[in-house]
Amino acid sequence: MNEAARKLAAIAPAEQHYREAPNNIEAEQALLGAILVNNDAYYRVSDFLKPIHLYEPLHRKIFEVAGDIIRMGKTANPVTIKSFVPADEKVGDMTVAQYLARLAVEAVSIINAEDYGRAIYDLALRRALITIGEDMVNIAFDAPLDMPPQTQIEDTERRLFELAENGRYDGGFQAFNDAVALAIDMAAVAKERDGGLSGISTGIHSLDSKMGGLQRSDLIVLAGRPGMGKTSLATNIAYNIAASFEGEVQADGSTKAKNGGVVGFYSLEMSSEQLATRIISEQTEVSSSKIRRGDINDADFEKLVACSMMMQKVPLYIDQTGGISIAQLSARARRLKRQRGLDVLVVDYVQLMTGSGKSNENRVQEITQITTGLKALGKELNVPIIALSQLSRAVESREDKRPQLSDLRESGSIEQDADVVLFVFREEYYVKNAEPRDINDPKYAEWEAQFERVKGTADVIIAKQRHGPTGTVRLAFQSEFTRFADLADSSFIQYEEH
């Protein structure tokens, strides 16, 4: 016998012992016994433990039937349950009825019911992890054409995230009284939060007063023609939220935003360096063009340094990958939430994204897939998503340049999926371009008066809002610093040494 054969013979007996999936039958028996003796034990575990989490099929059936009976206001015990489980099934040398009686007799108390439930739940999560791992290995070996490695990574990340989010893979309906409790909790949080908002403050008070802040799970579409400042507004809001972040440690050790929040910014158009330059310019009131050219004095440079030091602590994360797909974006957002937390997501902008479907889909179908995916992602992560969008050129051909919902480019699904649609409109941009060439033209004085009226202002048009009124909010806009602010808001932090 050669060396390889001897080694194979040596390990052969060990191969006969197969590993069993993680389970604890005794804990399941103890929990079911406690429920059969005192139905109050069921309510100690029913908020997180479902029948599918139990390993033994018969135990799943007993737990499910017991839950149904208890929710009907009746008593679940061996006598009432035995009619709903297979009577001819054997458990060792006992019938199911005898097994139910044994579970009740051997139950000690309901004191440890929740501990038993948690142990069973944790084992169920471990089994789910094993399933995900096995699927990942099997698919990687099979190498199907319709699932390239990148798609498999994204699918695995999605499943892991769902598993990490307290077993969200169950889904199902939510009782109305639970929804009412959540609404009351939201009102309580709004009462405690700075500004008394139900959502996350944008840092622009006049906009917050119309919207109540950014509401969790909402898809907020921010649209405008090029040059209107939609990226500037999104950047301002993102930085305001991140800069005002104030965390509160929860009982489980995680951190929850009390004010502000952690922001993820997908910059598909600009590099992270360009975006940072904009933010620094806005915060220090040093022109971004001067920063890029290095045309700054010592005082300005000191402000830039002081601002950059403060910004290092701001929880704003930028992803500058161009042409990212909705599946890739979703996978990275889940990863960011899992690793660092996530309260607001910004996507600049929708038309630069790609769908995750087949390449022969037309652009309208692709945009529909993107907006539907963003809306689903917002609900999954429970965060507001600000998605920037271009408007069609039809705006330029009209005498009235104020945008309308019908101007949203390439797909009606943007309007349909959005909870809020905001348009950025700067009349100053159009009036400036209409300046008469001849200063002696009689219309020049009329133009000059009109320009002075709109200079330094911008309108944010709330064209759609599921939770509140539509209307227009007029803001101040300093194009030199790409900064939006409330009108007549002179307060601003200067980064100077004192």
- Would you say residue 381 lies in a domain? yes
* 133 part of a folded domain: no
CATH number, domain containing residue 38: 1.10.860.10
With respect to residue 141, please indicate whether it lies within any of the assigned structural domains.
no
Domain that holds residue 52: 25-118
CA distances from 194 to 214, 258, 486 (A): 14, 9, 17
Q: Taking residues 472-495, what's their average pLDDT?
A: 70
Same domain, 339 and 481: yes
Residue at a domain's end among 91, 118, 145: 118
pLDDT of residue 13 exceeding 80: no
Report the pLDDT averaged over residues 456-476.
Answer: 86
* Largest Cα–Cα separation, the chain: 109
When comparing pLDDT for 182 and 112, which is higher?
112
Residue 164 lies in a domain: no
* Residue 498, pLDDT above cutoff 60: no
Residue 50 has pLDDT above 60, yes or no: yes
194 pLDDT tier (thresholds 50, 70, 90): low
In-domain check, residue 485:
yes
If asked whether residues 70 and 207 sit together in one domain, one would say no
Does pLDDT of 249 surpass 80?
A: no
Q: Is residue 160 domain-resident?
A: no
Show the 3-state SS of 298-333: HHHHHHHHHHHHHHCCCCEEEECCCCCEHHHHHHHH
pLDDT of residue 227: 78
Percent of the chain surpassing pLDDT 90: 1
**pLDDT confidence band for 408 (50 / 70 / 90):** confident
User: How many alpha carbons fall within 13 Å on the CB side of residue 205?
Assistant: 8
- Euclidean distance between CA atoms 328 and 349, whole angstroms: 15
Q: Which of 321, 345, 385 is nearest to 262 (CA)?
A: 345
Mean pLDDT of 181-206: 69
297: DSSP letter: -
The answer on pLDDT for 205 being more than 80 is yes
- Domain finish residue from 68, 91, 118: 118
Q: pTM of whole model > 0.85?
A: no
How far is residue 215's CA from residue 467's CA, in Å, rounded to a whole number?
Answer: 9
Query: What's residue 495's pLDDT?
Result: 37
Indicate if the pLDDT at residue 497 is higher than 80.
no
Q: How sure is the predictor about 453, in pLDDT bands with cuts at 50, 70 and 90?
A: confident
**372 vs 479, higher pLDDT:** 372
114 plus 207 within the same structural domain: no
Rounded Cα distance, 347 and 230, in Å: 11
Average pLDDT over residues 298-312: 78
Give me the pLDDT at residue 380, please: 84
- Total count of domains within the chain: 2
Are 90 and 228 found together in one domain? no
Residue 496 has pLDDT above 80, yes or no: no
Residue 492 reports pLDDT greater than 60: no
Task: Quick: pLDDT tens for 129-180.
Answer: 888 888 888 888 877 777 778 778 877 877 877 776 655 434 444 555 666 6
Q: Are residues 336 and 468 located together in one domain of the fold?
A: yes
CATH number of the domain enclosing 391: 3.40.50.300
The answer to the question of residue 182 being in a domain is no
Q: What is the CA radius of gyration of the chain?
A: 30
Mean pLDDT of all residues in 375-398:
84
User: Are 304 and 412 in a shared domain?
Assistant: yes
Whether 179 is covered by a domain: the verdict is: no
Sole residue written with tokens 């042409």: 323
Q: Which of 58-67, 386-395, 488-497 has the lowest mean pLDDT?
A: 488-497
Q: Is the pLDDT of residue 51 over 50?
A: yes
State pLDDT tens for residues 73-90. 788 888 888 888 876 777
Tokens at residue 45, please?
A: 């575990």
Last residue of a domain, one of 73, 92, 118: 118
Q: Are strands 255-259 and 219-224 parallel, antiparallel or unpaired?
A: unpaired
Spatial separation of the C-alpha atoms in residues 99 and 117, rounded to whole Å: 20
